[in-house]
Amino acid sequence: MHAPAAEDEYHDDVFPFAEAPSDGTGWQAPADLEEHLYELCEADDGYTYLRAIAVTGLYRPVSVADVEPGASERPVLTFDLPDGRRIAQMYTAGLLPRPHPEVVYEFVTLGTLAAELPDDIDLLVVNAATPCQQFYLTTDEERDVWADLHADHYVDGRLHDRIETRRTGAPRSPVLLHGLACGAHLCFANGDAWNTLDWHGAGYNSEVERLAEWWGVHSREDWLGTQERLLDREVSPWYWDFVLGARTSLSKQYGPRVDPELWRQCVEVTIRNRVVESEGPDAPHRPGDDPELDDFVAALRGLVGKIIRYESRFRADELLPPDGHVRTVAAWDIGRASKMARWGRGARYATHAELEAAVERASHEARAAYASWEEFSAGYVLGRCLHFDEEQFGDWYTTVLRAHRELVSDPDSPWLTVPFQ
């Protein structure tokens, strides 16, 4: 079920619209792709323009009525020119407008358009009513060119693992920008613009499928629950931060270099004492009394060693400073909460107000838990590794390590443009 549309979510920007300045100063494109396409339009280079959109793909508007449950088709939105020709409009990602209650945008490749654009459409316009507008005939010969360019240049995931920043349309609120930057690891991984609230993601259907496949989110109610649990830091197992907190407590008494065995003993004693506190002194809590409790204690003692080994690798890879430790993995839930807010908006489970509120809460939670982006990132990476990696130091680690390195060094990174505190 879609989120109920608030009155202020109805606006006139159903389709993109942008004008070049009349003073001849040039157009400030929303992102690098549109800047490139604008230059190609100025040079009247339609073929290179086609090649560029063959790499990136396009977005087509679809009526919400055609994506509701039970809708059998998702027809291409078209309009007729005065001479009777029919035209279809497609857009690049940077030009997509604020989400509108009556229209969504679906991702489509140039190859798919070559094969499936209806025969009764005479023209394709890319980025209509903008300074990088370009028209193409839809003849069989033209479609053959599209198909060839797609085969030569489109690779699924090719534009992942990069920092993408919008030059226009970003929110001005420092808190919103900070909250959006909390999702930078995932934005980098997916090649998404990190600083936009006008979220369409990988297209409406892909956003719905992403939430269903990875999160078990199938409705607005599911999204609301998942979003709240992430912001409350209740998705990650509680005992990760419990074990880290035991070391923090010991370091206040014994200094920063905590003996690993002392750490393990502290974890075990605290857990067994909690059983007594919650269930009474006669509750089975000593070693050998309760096999399930013993297994849990053994797992937590093992977690101490796992964290030590991960942190050692983090220091070797300069993800942590030479004497650094991870105090909390809160960032793993907070970073995902920042993106969950946007994914929910893309799937139309969230209103714009709910998106903003969730992003602001992510910012506040991050600032309460950490003192810098580097510290936030180390917590996020450890959480991801504990969740997925199983000490393999495989793709689950190496890909997020690459994201960390880019995010702390690239001049375009939000972590170098948005102060943490």
pLDDT, tens only, 150-159: 999 999 999 9
Could you tell me the pLDDT band of residue 285, with boundaries at 50, 70 and 90?
confident
Query: What pLDDT score was predicted for residue 22?
Result: 78
Q: Which residue has the higher pLDDT, 282 or 308?
A: 308
- SS3 state of residue 371: coil
Query: What pLDDT score was predicted for residue 284?
Result: 87
What's the rounded mean pLDDT across residues 78-83?
A: 92
Query: Would the pLDDT of 338 be above 80?
Result: yes
Burial 142-180 (b: 16+ CB within 10 A, else e): ebebbbebbeebbeeeebeebbbbbeebbbeeebbbbbb
Rg (CA), the chain: 25
**Beta strand spans in 141-189 (E):** none
**The model's pTM:** 0.95
What's at 82, amino acid-wise?
P
What residues contact residue 106 under an 8 Å CB cut-off, 6+ apart? 59, 60, 62, 74, 203, 204, 205
Report yes or no: 382 and 140 within 8 Å, Cβ to Cβ: no
Query: Would the pLDDT of 1 be above 80?
Result: no
Q: Both tokens of residue 371? A: 């003192």
Q: Which of 171-185, 274-288, 316-330 has the lowest mean pLDDT?
A: 274-288
What residues contact residue 319 under an 8 Å CB cut-off, 6+ apart? 377, 378, 381, 401, 404
CB atoms closer than 10 angstroms to residue 219: 14
Report yes or no: 349 and 2 within 8 Å, Cβ to Cβ: yes
Query: What pLDDT score was predicted for residue 341?
Result: 98
Could you tell me the pLDDT band of residue 123, with boundaries at 50, 70 and 90?
very high
- Express each pLDDT in 357-398 by its tens digit: 999 999 999 999 999 999 999 999 999 999 999 999 999 999
Q: Which of 39-53, 107-121, 276-290 has the lowest mean pLDDT?
A: 276-290
Q: Which of 19-28, 35-44, 81-90, 377-386 has the lowest mean pLDDT?
A: 19-28
What's the rounded mean pLDDT across residues 204-227?
A: 97
Query: Would the pLDDT of 9 be above 90?
Result: no
Query: What pLDDT score was predicted for residue 281?
Result: 85
Could you tell me the pLDDT band of residue 406, with boundaries at 50, 70 and 90?
very high
In the block, residue with structure tokens 């014994």: 254
Chain centre to alpha carbon of residue 137: 36
Torsion of CA 239, 244, 250, 254, to 10 degrees: 160
Query: What pLDDT score was predicted for residue 325?
Result: 97
Query: Would the pLDDT of 69 be above 80?
Result: no
Report yes or no: 345 and 223 within 8 Å, Cβ to Cβ: no
Give the rounded percent of residues in the chain with a pLDDT score beyond 70.
100
Burial 99-114 (b: 16+ CB within 10 A, else e): bbbebbbbbbbbbbbb
Query: Would the pLDDT of 6 be above 80?
Result: no
What's the rounded mean pLDDT across residues 246-268?
A: 94
What's the rounded mean pLDDT across residues 109-116?
A: 97
Burial 398-414 (b: 16+ CB within 10 A, else e): ebbbebbebbbeeeebb
Query: What pLDDT score was predicted for residue 12?
Result: 86
- SS3 state of residue 126: strand
- SS3 state of residue 415: helix
Quote the Cα angle for 103-107-55, to 5°: 145
Mean pLDDT over the full length of the chain:
95
Give the rounded percent of residues in the chain with a pLDDT score beyond 90.
87
Closest CA to 90 of 44, 136, 131: 136
Query: What pLDDT score was predicted for residue 5?
Result: 72
Report yes or no: 200 and 346 within 8 Å, Cβ to Cβ: yes
In the block, residue with structure tokens 């998106």: 355
Query: Would the pLDDT of 70 be above 80?
Result: no
Q: Both tokens of residue 22? A: 């009349």
What's at 281, amino acid-wise?
P
CB atoms closer than 10 angstroms to residue 267: 22
What's the rounded mean pLDDT across residues 319-347?
A: 97
CB atoms closer than 10 angstroms to residue 353: 12
* Cα atoms found within 13 Å of the Cα of residue 214, Cβ hemisphere only: 11
Run of H or E including 238: helix 238-254
Query: Would the pLDDT of 105 be above 80?
Result: yes
Report yes or no: 236 and 328 within 8 Å, Cβ to Cβ: no
Query: What pLDDT score was predicted for residue 141?
Result: 97
CB atoms closer than 10 angstroms to residue 367: 17
